[in-house]
Amino acid sequence: MRRLIPNCQEEALEDLYADLRFPDRPDRPYVVLHLVMSADGGATLRGRTGGMGGTADRLAFRRLREACDAILVGAGTVREETYRPPHLPPEAQARRIARGLAPLPRLVILTARAALDPDHRVFSDPDRAPLVVAPEDADPEALDRIARVAEVMRCGRGGVDLPRLLGLLRPRGIRWVVCEGGPALAAQLLASGLVDELFLTLAPWVVGSGERRLVEGALDPPRRLRLMEAREHGGDLLLRYALVPKEEPPGE
């Protein structure tokens, strides 16, 4: 693996994000967005993100999960990517415990319509039931079915109130969140100014217009990024960005 920024050098693949640490915000969890896209901006390959990124992207996926208290994901991504309860190898769980984290991160699923199948494999482990967050006006019968296999939280009307949700997660001891998509949730977090960092893998694919885009939703104003790190492995570019505060003038 070649690290390109902040200085160009060779490094072992296993060193990728091996000692990843994030700041602890007092007001809400520190939010990291982790996405993979093709060279032409597609977020999926044949309808799924799986298979787009290579070995380094898959390792980055595990390292980010190792560094967070919770995984935030939209219900559509849970269905499309056939999510299961979070899993990490024993050595990763041991590193988490040594840092004062739970052995595994909590999965938090956002759904606007409560359209989740209680028999989905994401609910297969009763000892690691996810937290499902839905608007207060979501279908009550659907939420009652989900409540049999998950913890349910109601937050917002007409859609999940993301700022309020993050404010509620922080007192639960959730300090660091990695959001794994999908594109609509990524857009909502970015538009609300709730993303602190973006980890983006640029994969060596061109997928065309039939696939989903990386971010789907209006961003007004657009958000600027500051490149912090860049690495290359197997044709993948692994980019780490900080979100520039909206009030910071261009060029700073």
The model's pLDDT over 158-205, given as tens digits with 9 standing for 90+, comes to 999 999 999 999 999 999 999 998 899 999 999 999 999 999 999 999
- Kindly report the average pLDDT of the chain as a whole number: 93
The H or E element spanning position 62 is: helix 55-66
pLDDT digits (tens, 9 = 90+) for 20-74: 999 999 999 999 999 999 999 888 888 777 778 899 999 999 999 999 999 999 9
pTM confidence score: 0.93
C-alpha separations of 158 from 20, 88, 112 in Å: 36, 35, 7
Beta strands 176-179 and 197-203: pairing type? unpaired
With the C-alpha atoms ordered 95, 63, 217, 131, is the resulting torsion angle positive or negative? negative
61-81 burial: b if 16+ Cβ within 10 Å, else e: bebbbbbbbbbbbbbbbbbbb
Closest CA to 36 of 212, 157, 175, 170: 212
- Would strands 2-5 and 9-10 be described as parallel, antiparallel, or unpaired? antiparallel
Q: How do residues 132-155 score in pLDDT, each as one tens digit?
A: 999 999 999 999 999 999 999 999
Report pLDDT digits (tens) over 107-130: 999 999 999 999 999 999 999 999
Distances (CA, A) of 92 to 27, 38, 55, 87, 102: 28, 29, 17, 10, 11
Q: Which residue in this structure is represented by tokens 């967050």?
A: 133
